[in-house]
């Protein structure tokens, strides 16, 4: 088996695994059960997308795709931080409301 044939098999297997991961992540986004679960699933969706871009870059040999993957990683990180802050503020508001109702 030559190196090129091995690379083709590895790329094909990677696409299958990433597709399976994408389907499982979409199921987690839809089913939930809580908002933090959905936020983590969206973060995982970004990671799987980066994986797809990396495999496409290897398959085509066009390494400019890796710049896109890095940009997507940065945007995904910032989105996750923003969602986490939103969840934290929402939790603090609920805690303050329940505390004031208890008095």
pLDDT at 102: 66
Chain mean position to CA 19: 13
Interatomic CA distance for residues 92 and 64, integer angstroms: 43
Q: Please classify residue 68 by burial: count the beta carbons closer than 10 Å to its beta carbon, then call 0-12 exposed, 13-18 middle and 19+ buried.
A: middle
pTM: 0.83
- Structurally, the chain folds into a number of domains equal to 1
pLDDT at 18: 97
What CATH number should be reported for the domain holding residue 88?
1.10.287
pLDDT at 103: 59
pLDDT at 99: 76
Pick out the chain residues at pLDDT < 70: 102-103
Range(s) of the domain holding residue 89: 3-102
């Amino acid at each position: 088996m030559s190196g090129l044939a091995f690379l083709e098999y590895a790329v094909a297997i990677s696409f299958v695994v990433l597709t399976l991961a994408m389907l499982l992540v979409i199921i987690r986004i839809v089913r939930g059960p809580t908002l933090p679960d959905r936020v983590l699933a969206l973060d995982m969706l970004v990671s799987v997308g980066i994986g797809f871009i990396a495999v496409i870059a290897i398959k085509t040999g066009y390494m400019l795709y890796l710049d896109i993957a890095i940009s997507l990683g940065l945007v995904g990180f910032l989105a996750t931080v923003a969602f986490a802050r939103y969840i934290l503020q929402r939790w603090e508001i609920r805690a303050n409301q329940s505390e004031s109702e208890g008095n």
